[in-house]
Amino acid sequence: MTARLLARDARLVEVTIDGVAQLLPDGVMLATALAAAGALRLRASPRSGAPRGAFCYMGACQECAIFVDGALVQACRTPVAAGMAIELRGAP
Ligand code: FES
């Protein structure tokens, strides 16, 4: 349902997730777009290896930190843009 709502009015743009081409809605915050696409686990805890994913969706918790184009970003504060290279490797 969420994916359909996001995609209905949004233009889809091509990004890569771990090197695989995917379509995500342009301008939607990356954490939201990834969750709608089924990617709830964004990374692994460096201490325990436990799965981590977006929690607050407002820039406070840091749980959505992922690498995009080689830089560490907060996925909940980063809008989807064409050509992004998103890295979720290490997410369990
Ligand atoms: S989900 Fe909390 S900082 Fe991004």
What's the average model confidence in pLDDT over 17-28?
95
Mean pLDDT of the chain: 90
Q: Are 90 and 43 in contact (CB under 8 A)?
A: yes
pLDDT at 6: 59
How far apart CA 40 and CA 14 sit, in angstroms, is 19
* Residue 4 identity: R
Q: What six digits make up the tokens of 37?
A: 């696409």
pLDDT band at 1 (very low <50, low <70, confident <90, very high): very low
Q: How far is the CA of 18 from the centre of ligand 1 (A)?
A: 21
pLDDT-derived band of residue 2, with 50, 70 and 90 as boundaries? very low
DSSP category for residue 11: P
Residue 48 pLDDT > 50: yes
With a Cβ cut-off of 6 Å, ligand 1 is lined by 31, 54-57, 59-64, 74, 76
Taking the domains of the chain in order of start, what are their residue ranges? 2-87
CATH of domain 2-87: 3.10.20.440
Q: Specify the long-range contacts of residues 19-25, CB closer than 8 Å, at least 24 apart.
A: 19/85, 24/80, 25/80
